[in-house]
Amino acid sequence: MRKIKVAFEATALLGPRSGVGEFAYGLLTRLAEEETDVDAFAISWRKRHLLKDELPQGVGFIDRVMPARPLHLLWDSFDVPKIELLVGGSYDIVHGSNFFVPPSRSARRVVTVHDLTPLHFPEMCLAPVLKYPHYIAKSIADGVFIHTPTEFVKREVMEIFGAQEHQVFAVPHGVPTDAYNALEVVSDEFVARIVEIVAGRKVLLAVGTIEPRKGYGEFLSAFSLLQRKRRDLVLIVAGVKGWGWDEFEVKRSMLADSNAVVVLGRVSDVERKWLYDNATVLIFPSVYEGFGLPTLEAMAQGLPVICSNAGATVEVVGDCAVVVDGHDPAVWSDVIEEVVDDSDFRTDLSRRGKVRAKTFTWERSAREMRMIYRTIIESHG
């Protein structure tokens, strides 16, 4: 059987690792094997060389100049230049990892659509993200194959953009990343800092960028209700300050004890794993999600999850988490108390979460993606 040659756009691996970056890295760790040769490239001029050190073993690096701004200006109006010219070779598949895939001469194209946030909540998006619906519509019109991380997003793409079912396929993400299995140990300084912050209290952990879509600002209303009744809880947010930070900070300052909400900023993989291992529960109050990777990461580590019923989250957690309908602060407050005060319930959630998380692996994701690639190639001769 002839090997499939794949050119994978991995620009998201440049700089701090985002959710898209986690997807790109996780898939690439398992995508290259006997049937598949994978080379990765970044649409960047000055930073492209940084990609080489971010790629997992077995993935080739395409070191070619691709200035992002001029190229996107061209691609927004014309279907040139083709990716074969930019990468200096021919491929069977070119896969765009983040809503956009460059035009090609002969390679079959695949693009990953993570969610439809800019359509549902444009007020929560920055200007570059508002272009994504245009990219999706054009890709569908051009016959590009759409990959989504969940059946939920697949249905949305079909219903809203009119894509045919044969053009859209759902392949879920996996967990954990290779870093979780590495020999790296969390530093004593990090542990000491968290122990000092916690001071014997139960930890509500939130993981993700502080932005309106994640619902952290609204959740502070529930935390405020909890503080009126008890002082044995601390909320730790492992995530950077996004564009919704100012609103979050104002609400935090109005709490009875604002010091009980601690924002760590970006943490490493091993630090995030340590937090999952030592927290009491993961809080995931998102307004909308195309997948919700932190819920899966938490379950894999045995941490009970309380999440909203937003978007695809329920599809990911199944019946192995506590799902809250809506964002009523009183409801969230009651549910949190029920979970943190019932150790038997948490133990059951932990056990069921671990079992479910084992069905989401990057090996499975890569295997299904290779099958899709081959089906696309064979169906087009």
Helix ranges (DSSP H) in 254-342 = 269-278, 293-300, 313-317, 329-340
Task: Write down how long the chain is.
Answer: 381
Distances (CA, A) of 304 to 212, 333, 344: 24, 16, 11
pLDDT at 381 over 70: no
Residues 43 and 113 in one domain: yes
HSE value, Cβ hemisphere, 13 Å, CA-based, for 61 = 14
Q: Two tokens at 231?
A: 């002082």
Residues 224 and 342 in one domain: yes
Residues 40 and 163 in one domain: yes
- Kindly report the number of other CB atoms within 10 A of residue 164's CB atom: 8
Instruction: Give the distance from CA 14 to its chain's centroid.
Output: 15
Give the domain extent around 65.
Answer: 4-174+361-379
Tell me the DSSP string of 69-113.
HHHHHHHHH---S-HHHHHTS--SEEEESSS-----SSSEEEEE-
pLDDT at 183: 55
Q: How many domains does the chain have?
A: 2
pLDDT at 178 over 80: no
pLDDT at 369 over 90: yes
Structure letter (DSSP) for residue 180: G
Four-point Cα dihedral 329, 334, 335, 338, nearest 10: 160
Tens-place pLDDT, residues 92-112:
999 999 999 999 999 999 999
Measured distance CA(63)–CA(87) in Å, rounded = 8
Residues 97 and 235 in one domain: no
Q: Two tokens at 142?
A: 């051009």
Tens-place pLDDT, residues 289-321:
999 999 999 999 999 999 999 899 999 999 999
**What average pLDDT does range 337-351 have in this prediction?**
98
Whether the full predicted model's pTM is greater than 0.75, yes or no, is: yes
Residues 365 and 353 in one domain: no
The overall average pLDDT reported for the chain is 93
Residues 45 and 118 in one domain: yes
Residues 194 and 122 in one domain: no
3-class SS of residue 200: coil
- Give the CATH number, domain containing residue 114: 3.40.50.2000
Residues 73 and 191 in one domain: no
Residues 304 and 188 in one domain: yes
Answer yes or no: are the C-beta atoms of 6 and 37 closer than 8 Å. yes
Residues 193 and 230 in one domain: yes
Q: What residues contact residue 128 under an 8 Å CB cut-off, 6+ apart? A: none
